[in-house]
Homo-oligomer: A and B are copies of this chain.
């Protein structure tokens, strides 16, 4: 309990840890899908942007993002094309598909439900206090 594994950012206390902790791999999916609704992007950009999104999950590992992108493509939620390097090395540019947009809206609905359940649990705990 209160294991220190993964608490990469130094100075991170239990509270910050509790707020951020979550299933890393799976919660990459909705964040990537959202970022791609803003327009096509390549992995490196996504990795850069994903950590700054408001989200109760940890900043994901860059390796995990690349792997997630491949899996999302295999599932048909995103598509990719190579963009020849006008500047810098070649990029694999991803675009969201209609299936991907549907997938994101499913995620959003599920998050609304999560909020409700979390609030119910919070209320239970607070009731005890008073």
- Cβ-defined contact, B124 with A54, below 8 A: yes
- Cβ-defined contact, B110 with A114, below 8 A: no
- Cβ-defined contact, A68 with B1, below 8 A: yes
Q: In the assembled complex, which residues on chain B have CB atoms less than 8 Å from the CB atom of A53? A: 121, 124
Q: In the assembled complex, which residues on chain B have CB atoms less than 8 Å from the CB atom of A92? A: none
Question: Given known contacts A115-B115, A124-B53, is B1 in contact with A75 (CB within 8 Å)?
Answer: yes
One of B18, B23, B109, B119 near A15 (C-beta < 8 A): B109
Interface residues of A in 115-130 (CB under 8 A from B): 115, 117-122, 124-126, 128-129
Q: Which residue on B lies nearest to A109, using beta carbons?
A: B15
* Chain A residue total in the interface (Cβ 8 A): 49
Q: Which residue on B lies nearest to A26, using beta carbons?
A: B21
CA distance A128 to B38 in the complex (A): 8
Question: Given known contacts A23-B23, A128-B37, is B71 in contact with A117 (CB within 8 Å)?
Answer: no
Question: Given known contacts A2-B75, A118-B115, is B110 in contact with A18 (CB within 8 Å)?
Answer: yes
- Cβ-defined contact, A15 with B54, below 8 A: no
